[in-house]
Structure 1
């Protein structure tokens, strides 16, 4: 599928990441202390940053399909991908929230935090990678055991 992408797809993804990281750094959301202050109801700046991002994203998701019938860089048709709201979403969200509360940083902000010189965030990033790997390993083995034929010798 990547061969069908526009040649500017990857450079624009990079530019989007630069803008995202700069925005997180500029709004001080790349500092775990700011996020922890939000979680302790002491600083509500994160609400305004998230609200601003949601408005921009919402407008883009509402306007783009009306202007174009296909995504400009990938050529894919616009469509909604619905994920069921099930116990995996609830449990995963709760685990993510505990990790966010303990580390004071979410994955995107952790990378931006490196950019402002916070090298101790590497511990949180390492934990995120190990946690994601363990979850993938657990899921692949759980799915494999569920699909194995019963009584196979």
Structure 2
């Protein structure tokens, strides 16, 4: 087992770093009572309802998209991209901070060929299953219990990626 550096924390001690992968954990959220985190569950449920009503979780709509038979999903995805671009522009232009007063910063990502392979695998899985990882829970919530297999596969794929990430193409 690797030795960990036992230095004293600097600055805000509300966060701690765990593991060699530097996963940050907000200790105040871990210690908070369940009721204080219910807002996230409520927002998630409302988000899922919007997904269902907009037919974003519809297997039929997803198949239509990959067969190039309908603009519906392309319109939804395109709208999300435009809203994201405008939001990032506004955040950068007006130096907007988080509700806690923290500065929001964006870092450039470096491109590598592994992103092409990953994107192709992601798209193929999405086309075959009719399920994107984002709305999996909403699909299960609508009663599409067969999607549980897709959820378990996504979890397994995430584990495999984490396990073999260093050996994959860069």
**TM-score normalised by the chain length of structure 2:** 0.69
Is 1:38–2:65 an aligned residue pair? yes
Q: CA RMSD in A?
A: 2.7
Structure in which a larger fraction of residues adopt helix: 1
d(CA) in 1 for partners of 2:78, 2:46: 17
Question: Which residue pairs with 1:104 in the alignment?
Answer: 130
Alignment-derived partner of residue 54 in structure 2: 27
**Pairwise CA distance, 1:12:** 5.0
Q: Hey, what's the Cα distance between the residues in 1 that align with 2:106 and 2:95?
A: 15
Unpaired runs of 5+ in structure 1?
Answer: 144-153
Structure having the higher strand fraction is 2
Q: Kindly indicate whether residue 113 of structure 2 is the aligned counterpart of residue 91 of structure 1.
A: no
Judging changes above 3 Å, is the alpha-carbon distance between structure 1 residues 35 and 18 closer, same or farther for their aligned structure 2 residues? same
Structure 2: any 5+ residue segments left out of the alignment? 1-14, 16-25
Q: Which 4+ stretches in 1 moved above 3 angstroms?
A: 9-16, 64-69
Q: How many residues align?
A: 140
Residue 87 (structure 2) pairs with residue 63 (structure 1): no
